[in-house]
Structure 1
């Protein structure tokens, strides 16, 4: 699990895994490039980059594109299609 908080104006984002890993991303430096700092054993910036890449490749799914299925022997969350879509065990 990663908790993400952002500044009201969207210029900064903070992420923390609730244990010992953290990341801080700011909108840009003086040259217009984004700045990221992170610490701890998990590389949260890289995890967030991979998650954003998936989100873009999936056509930017909205909140209601996701669902959860609970069966006697398994439960999982899915995106757009509970059978053929992306799914993750819970």
Structure 2
């Protein structure tokens, strides 16, 4: 069993359905090894990347309610800093929302 070290913890405004759709898009770059009810593992250079999530209370701004998820990116031992950075960058590019 791989030991995972947390690299990034994110507070994201999204639903689980949106997150799972993003995971499928990421799987086109990094093969998905497994998907469970609250995490998914991907093969990356040097080991495995894990994206784990759990629901958080909605963010409420006046009459607006935004769904929130705590999303954690973790990596198995042996994954280089460059591979971690590349995976994190790709994840954030897929989940980035525009504004302005």
The TM-score range, normalised by the shorter chain, is: 0.3 to 0.5
User: Comparing both structures, which one devotes a greater share of its residues to helix?
Assistant: 2
Tell me the TM-score normalised to structure 2 length: 0.35
TM-score, normalised to structure 1, is 0.37
* Higher radius of gyration, 1 or 2: 1
Question: Relative to total residues, which structure has the larger strand share, 1 or 2?
Answer: 2
Larger RCO, structure (CA 8 Å, separation 6 or more): 2
